[in-house]
Chains A and B, each alone.
Chain A
Amino acid sequence: MRFSVLVEVRLRPGVADPQGATIERALPMLGFDEVCDVTVGKAIRFDLDAPDEQAARNEVDDLCTRFLTNPVIEDAFVSLEPVP
């Protein structure tokens, strides 16, 4: 099976996010006073061949821990769906 994978890399809670803070400070100047809790991360998309969804998830989790994130400062949030 082929899966379409989206890995969202976010800074871990408690790690300062100066990019998010800067964006948040800029928004009121454009009139967006209601926006809060802005954070900036990365989105990484790829396709993956695996026997089933659980195998695909295990593979992606391993990939995230060993390469796509630095676990000291980042968490990975994985979305995964079969490619028709």
Chain B
Amino acid sequence: MTIGVVQFPGTNCEADVVEAVRSLGGDAEIVWHGDHRLASSIDAVVLPGGFAHGDYLRTGAIARFSPVMAVVAELASDGGPVVGICNGFQILCEAGLLPGALKKNAGLKFLCTSVAIRVETDRSVLTTEASVGQILTIPINHFEGSYTCSSDTLHALKAEDRVVFRYLDNPNGALDDIAGVCNEGRNVVGLMPHPERASHALLGSTDGNVLLRSLLTAAKVSAKSG
């Protein structure tokens, strides 16, 4: 049972995610974006933060064509856990694995700070160990993190309990304070905050661990069923 952490050219949070998963007793390894298959030991995938392919054209626009994305899509359609953090969230939206898009922050400022987010559902691979209403303090680090989608999509997200996190104090102008969403299968989750940066007391918060533990649990379930 291993978490595959995808490294694109320009990804910069892959080592942090691997370290955070390992510190919780899980296995994680880095997967190169050019790979056409995943090792059989990999039961879940994280697309970490950074600037994949330089964010050229749009954030995530080029990354979605990397060979590994075909196998990530396959894992997702088989129900395997797939989590996109920050740039990874943007890539999942561009790849069509999650609805909506991430725009430039409302204030046109690159935001690097800790924010409070509320867990809105415990029915997603990233929140099974958390409780609804739980407040987590987790860092954000983005310029294009303002979530948006069509009104039809927003209606569906709300009706189907697929808004996973909301900001308490919206930092970037995101629609309906949305910080993270999941797909219909609830096995693909994207969020702008970085749980791996809130995974040790030395980092100022351990609030991200409940999310990473949920992912490890989901990966174990996926390993047994796969």
Would you call A27 an interface residue if the criterion is a C-beta within 8 Å of the partner chain's C-beta atoms? no
Asked if B104 and A19 sit within 8 Å, CB to CB, the answer is: yes
Interface size on B, residues (CB 8 A): 18
Would you call A68 an interface residue if the criterion is a C-beta within 8 Å of the partner chain's C-beta atoms? yes
Residues of chain B from 69 to 123 with CB closer than 8 A to chain A in the complex:
93-94, 100-101, 103-108
Residues of chain A from 29 to 80 with CB closer than 8 A to chain B in the complex:
67-68, 70, 72-73
Please name all residues of chain B whose beta carbon is closer than 8 Å to the beta carbon of A70 when the two chains form the complex: 58, 61, 94, 101
Taking CB as reference atom, which chain A residue is nearest B108? Answer: A18
Asked if B106 and A73 sit within 8 Å, CB to CB, the answer is: no
Please name all residues of chain B whose beta carbon is closer than 8 Å to the beta carbon of A22 when the two chains form the complex: 108
Indicate whether A16 sits within 8 Å of B101 (C-beta atoms), given known contacts A67-B61, A70-B58, A72-B148. Answer: no
Residues of chain A from 1 to 45 with CB closer than 8 A to chain B in the complex:
15-16, 18-19, 22
CA distance in complex: A15, B103 (Å): 9
Taking CB as reference atom, which chain B residue is nearest A21? Answer: B108
Q: Mark B4-39, 1 if CB is under 8 A from A, else 0.
A: 000000000000000000000000000000000000
Please name all residues of chain A whose beta carbon is closer than 8 Å to the beta carbon of B58 when the two chains form the complex: 70
Please name all residues of chain B whose beta carbon is closer than 8 Å to the beta carbon of A67 when the two chains form the complex: 57, 61
CA distance in complex: A73, B144 (Å): 13
Please name all residues of chain B whose beta carbon is closer than 8 Å to the beta carbon of A19 when the two chains form the complex: 104, 108
Which of A18, A68, A72 is B101 in contact with, Cβ under 8 Å? A72
Asked if B61 and A18 sit within 8 Å, CB to CB, the answer is: no
CB distance from A68 to the nearest CB of B (A): 7
Asked if A18 and B106 sit within 8 Å, CB to CB, the answer is: yes
Please name all residues of chain B whose beta carbon is closer than 8 Å to the beta carbon of A73 when the two chains form the complex: 101, 103, 148
| Best-surrounded residue of A67, A68, A70, A73 (most CB of chain B within 10 A) | A70
Please name all residues of chain A whose beta carbon is closer than 8 Å to the beta carbon of B149 when the two chains form the complex: 72
Asked if A18 and B57 sit within 8 Å, CB to CB, the answer is: no
Residues of chain B from 45 to 70 with CB closer than 8 A to chain A in the complex:
57-58, 61
Asked if A16 and B103 sit within 8 Å, CB to CB, the answer is: yes
CA distance in complex: A68, B61 (Å): 8
Please name all residues of chain B whose beta carbon is closer than 8 Å to the beta carbon of A72 when the two chains form the complex: 93, 100-101, 148-150
CA distance in complex: A23, B107 (Å): 13
Indicate whether A18 sits within 8 Å of B150 (C-beta atoms), given known contacts A70-B61, A72-B101. Answer: no
| Best-surrounded residue of A16, A19, A22, A68 (most CB of chain B within 10 A) | A16
Pull 14 A–B residue pairs with CB atoms less than 8 Å apart, ordered by A.
Answer: A15-B148, A16-B103, A16-B173, A18-B104, A18-B106, A19-B108, A67-B57, A70-B61, A70-B94, A72-B93, A72-B100, A72-B101, A72-B148, A72-B150
Task: Give the interface of B toward A (CB within 8 A).
Answer: 57-58, 61, 93-94, 100-101, 103-108, 146, 148-150, 173
| Shortest 3 CB-CB contacts between residues of A and residues of B | A72-B101, A18-B108, A73-B101
